[in-house]
Amino acid sequence: MKLEELTVDLLKKVVEIYNRKAYPASSGKKKVVDLPPDASLEEILDFFEEKPSGKGEGLRRYAVALGNINYPRMKLVFQEHLFPGEFCFVVDTHDQMEMPPNAPDIEAWLALKQTNRRLKMEIEEAWEEAGIPTQRMLLELAGKVQAKRASRGKSILVADDEESLAHATVEMLRKHGYEACAVFDGEAALEAVHKKMPDLLVIDNEMPKLSGMKVIEALGKDPETRTLPVLLMTGGPISLSEKERASGFLCKPFSEKLLLSVVHHLLGEEKEGREPSGREGGGGLAPDEGGS
């Protein structure tokens, strides 16, 4: 959907469904949309606590913490991704913090993350049933993209627990001549790499079973996979040292153009497109431009 199509009624519907799933009846502090029916787009966007800075070339992301009955930091997000100008609603669990395996509360924390993930899926499925645009829309948009060229003879493995995003990314890469397939957790990514080595691994950092960083660490310990280039994606916080361990890095949300630019570079196809500047979406190449 276009930004201009966001209305008070639509936002109220989105938040009402979120609240219904996130908070049992008469419990929790729910945030409501207190806006007049004729509110301007600017007034509607003021509902969100986080807004685009307006600097650089990054895609726009609006977010507000609505929480849930067990966790106050979960967010409602309205953003562009892959396709500039096309917005959809997303739940950001906002629980990407890593805890040491021996931390006293680790089991409770992992259980909470699983609960948050299930709740995210329930909310987004309810939105879809109500006709509200979610990330599944990206797959539909990717399917409408015309094929740009014949096969390049290069294979790319996409690993992302956001299945709609993974499928949309795969579809878009195929339209640009790459052989691409998707898996949805870190363990499956490692298994797929060892079964058939791709030319590039594009992997999200926050995933169940094994994070993107854990996968990079495992690949680096194996002589057969340590030279595999890895493009790391994340929508959460990440340190400079972690970025440097990947061959390239993209901060979600990012555009199709930036993704392809980094992919071209990592596969030695710089002439296919402009070398990534790193401005849009916080993406670009790791400082050493080395392997994983």
Q: How far apart are CA 251 and CA 19, in angstroms?
A: 28
Task: Report the interhelical angle of 212-221 vs 186-195 (nearest 10°).
Answer: 30
Question: Which of 73, 106, 134 is where one domain is finished?
Answer: 134
Q: Going edge to edge, which strands form the sheet with 248-251? A: 179-183, 155-159, 200-204, 230-234, 248-251, 284-285
Three-state SS at 231 = strand
Does 292 reside within a domain? no
Same domain (yes/no): 42, 119: yes
On whether the CB atoms of residues 206 and 236 are closer than 8 A, the answer is: yes
Q: Which of 56, 92, 87 is nearest to 76 (CA)?
A: 92
Does 244 reside within a domain? yes
Same domain (yes/no): 80, 160: no
The predicted structure's pLDDT at residue 53: 65
The predicted structure's pLDDT at residue 289: 38
Rg (CA), the chain: 19
Does 291 reside within a domain? no
Same domain (yes/no): 25, 152: no
Residue 32: exposure state from Cβ atoms within 10 A (0-12, 13-18, ≥19): exposed
Same domain (yes/no): 180, 279: yes
Does 290 reside within a domain? no
Q: How far apart are CA 266 and CA 198, in angstroms?
A: 13
Residue 270 CB: number of other CB atoms within 10 A? Answer: 13
The predicted structure's pLDDT at residue 271: 56
Does 60 reside within a domain? yes
Question: Which of 134, 163, 187 is where one domain is finished?
Answer: 134
Same domain (yes/no): 21, 129: yes
| Residue 12 host element (H or E) | helix 8-22
List all residues 6 or more positions away from 112 whose beta carbon is below 8 Å from its beta carbon. 70, 71, 95
List all residues 6 or more positions away from 266 whose beta carbon is below 8 Å from its beta carbon. 200, 229, 231, 247, 248, 285
How many CA atoms within 13 Å lie on the side-chain side of 129?
8
List the structure tokens of 27: 């419990």
On whether the CB atoms of residues 292 and 200 are closer than 8 A, the answer is: no
Q: What is the pTM of this model?
A: 0.83
Q: Which residue carries 């594009």 as its tokens? A: 202
Same domain (yes/no): 153, 273: yes
Q: What is the CATH number of the domain that holds 165?
A: 3.40.50.2300
Same domain (yes/no): 110, 47: yes
Q: How far apart are CA 11 and CA 251, in angstroms?
A: 26
Query: Where in the sequence is the domain holding 210, given as residue range(s)?
Result: 137-285
Does 148 reside within a domain? yes
Same domain (yes/no): 99, 154: no
Burial letters 190-208, b for 16+ CB under 10 A, else e: bebbeeeebbbbbbbbbbe
Question: Which of 69, 104, 134 is where one domain is finished?
Answer: 134
Q: Which residue carries 């806006």 as its tokens? A: 35
Same domain (yes/no): 121, 234: no
Q: How many domains does the chain have?
A: 2
How confident is the chain (292 residues) per 10-residue block, as mean pLDDT?
Answer: 96 96 78 91 95 71 95 96 95 86 88 94 97 92 76 92 94 94 96 97 91 94 95 86 89 92 90 44 47 38
Q: How far apart are CA 224 and CA 198, in angstroms?
A: 12
Same domain (yes/no): 141, 281: yes
Same domain (yes/no): 152, 266: yes
Same domain (yes/no): 147, 54: no
